[in-house]
Homo-oligomer: A and B are copies of this chain.
Amino acid sequence: MSSFRAQKMAKKKQEILRSAAAVLIEKGYQGTTMEEIAAKLLMTKGSMYYYFKNKDDLLFQCHLMIMEICLDGIEKVIESDRNPIEKLRCAIKEHILLATSEKSMFMALSKPHHNFSDEQLQEVLGLRKSYSHYFDRIIHEGIDKQEFGSVDVKMVRLIILGALNWIQEWYDQNGPQSAEEISEAYADYLLKMLVKN
């Protein structure tokens, strides 16, 4: 019966997480204050504690939310019936779009070991590993189907994800190149490392 209540609570939690994520992008983990997260929602910081145990918990769940969005994205790509080249291209573009779109602050928290408890860290690393594995699967598939040369899968994946993740360091919403253009170019160049010729 109280599913209403539960839903409402869940919705509010989501709002808070979104607000937290927004602050997180700008200020970084330690720079983010409960006050600012609350202010964006016209709430007081005290009320955050009705929904979350403490700041760590809040920001951790925020991190999880972001990771889930990313995982959803790549899962769709994996399940599509494209060939490996196109899958990798899509995965790269999807990642960049997520990383640059204002809603998502994928990896807003680099260096999670600076902020999370061991237990939390384990969970985050697990999700990251899943994400990496999806990339590996695509690359393996490409090698099997002879679309890619026989590369060191892990190395190549690290290079690709590194290049992608670094975009957040310099990307500017109002910069000369759109996320779309960037993602096209990145996909093209990165694929050159892999594709046979």
Which A residues have a C-beta under 8 Å from some C-beta of B?
A: 27-31, 110-111, 114-115, 151-152, 155-156, 158-167, 169-170, 182, 185-186, 189-190, 192-193, 197
By the criterion CB–CB under 8 Å, are A159 and B190 in contact? Answer: yes
In the assembled complex, 29 residue pairs joining A and B whose CB atoms fall closer than 8 Å, in A order, are: A27-B114, A28-B29, A28-B30, A28-B111, A29-B30, A30-B30, A30-B31, A31-B114, A110-B110, A110-B169, A111-B169, A152-B185, A155-B185, A155-B186, A158-B167, A159-B163, A159-B186, A159-B189, A159-B190, A160-B163, A162-B163, A162-B164, A162-B165, A162-B166, A162-B169, A166-B166, A192-B192, A193-B193, A197-B197
A139 CB to closest chain B CB (Å) equals 12
Task: Give how many copies assemble into the complex.
Answer: 2
Tell me what chain A mostly uses at the interface: helix, strand, loop, or mixed.
helix
A191 to B, closest residue via Cβ = B193
The 7 A-B residue pairs whose C-beta atoms are closest, nearest first, are A162-B166, A30-B30, A162-B163, A28-B114, A159-B163, A163-B163, A155-B185
